[in-house]
Homo-oligomer: A and B are copies of this chain.
Amino acid sequence: MIIVIKKNSDKKQFDNLVRWVKSQGVDTDVSVGSNSTVLGLVGDTSKIDIDLVRSLDIVEDVKRIQEPYKCVNRKFHPDDTIVDVGGVKFGGDNFQIIAGPCSVESEKQIVFVAEEVKKAGASVLRGGAFKPRTSPYSFQGLREDGIKLLLKAKAETGMPIITEIMSIRHIDLFRDVDIIQIGARDMQNFELLKEVGRLHKPVMLKRGLANTVEEWLMSAEYIMSEGCKDIILCERGIRTFEPYTRNTLDLSAIPLLKELTHLPVVVDPSHASGLSRLVKPLSLAAVGAGAHGLMIEVHNDPMHALCDGAQSIRPEEFKDIVEKIDVMLPLVNKHRTV
């Protein structure tokens, strides 16, 4: 960390700052220039509160040199993390496809979709039980019952399941869920992150709508610092000024994350745009960008499309996407494993 001190600053305040920094177990190195003095911090600065330092009257600017995250930092863990979900491996040169309906609606529906997507190449079943909805008047999901139906589809097909948790109160219901999903709106629900981290189960952490890559990694650090080692990151689009798509899928984040962290990263092309006809091009784009997997919404019955989200595609389109992905995987040094 580099602290730029204002010209002609109060000597006593400067000494106070140096003393405080040292009390945090960090060494200092002072270099005096013509327009400002630069205080270099040497050692583990991850506990130094950068906002706090910036607030001081004598401080002109603060620049971080080290990343503020440790457990998730590739610098300290150069090897790829492989998250093993009942034999389904995320990370490294593995490529996985998670698929299923937006919402779980009935046993018939979820089992049917599970079978279809498994046949086409999906290795994990997704399905919304608790649904975060902008409006209190929109369908909030089947909730507890939705999880029971997912477990039935798991029993029927042998596929591991992933579904979103929305409250600490529901944690017990997730005992048999294979991957607990933390949604975009909860990415900085720090109390939830801590409790889920203590379960030591695989977690998928979606990027928040307006969160930087660094904040995303800090949230993964929250989970990991509680002992959980199995985190999958999921890019799902960020909020921008563009109104045509619901969110702007940030595929640059994929190669960046592979430098910064050892954790696997998947892409959700369905929620990113909110438009089902964009799922195919964005899926292929995500593979090209180097993602470790995809999470795609697939619905069963085009005649009941009204009950599905705007972002769902049909099983036959899903199959076509998977076939194209299989051609691409060797180009990005990955292979699909089941």
Contact = CB atoms under 8 A, between A and B. Distances in A.
Interface of A: 2, 4, 16-17, 20, 29, 31, 33, 35-36, 38, 40, 42, 46-47, 49, 51-52, 54-57, 61, 63, 65-66, 68-69, 75, 130, 132-140, 166-169, 185-186, 188-192, 194, 208-210, 212-215, 218, 221-222, 225, 238-246, 248-256, 259, 272-278, 281-290, 303, 305-312, 324, 327-328, 331-332
A327 to B, nearest CB: 6
Given A256-B278, A286-B285, A239 B241 contact: yes
B135 A310 contact: no
Contacts of A4: 65
B218 A242 contact: no
Given A281-B288, A288-B287, A324-B331, A218 B134 contact: yes
A279 to B, nearest CB: 10
A168 B168 contact: yes
A20 B306 CA distance: 8
Contacts of A221: 135-136
B218 A135 contact: yes
Nearest to A272: B252
Contacts of A130: 191
12 contacts: A17-B306, A52-B307, A69-B135, A134-B188, A134-B218, A135-B221, A209-B210, A240-B241, A248-B252, A252-B272, A281-B332, A288-B288
Contact of A190 (B133, B284, B331): B133
B309 A55 contact: yes
Contacts of A136: 190, 194, 218, 221-222, 225
Contacts of A189: 166, 185-186, 189
A242 B250 contact: yes
Given A135-B221, A238-B242, 15 more contacts: A2-B63, A20-B306, A33-B42, A36-B66, A38-B40, A52-B308, A52-B310, A55-B312, A130-B191, A135-B218, A167-B191, A168-B169, A239-B239, A249-B252, A252-B272
B49 A40 contact: no
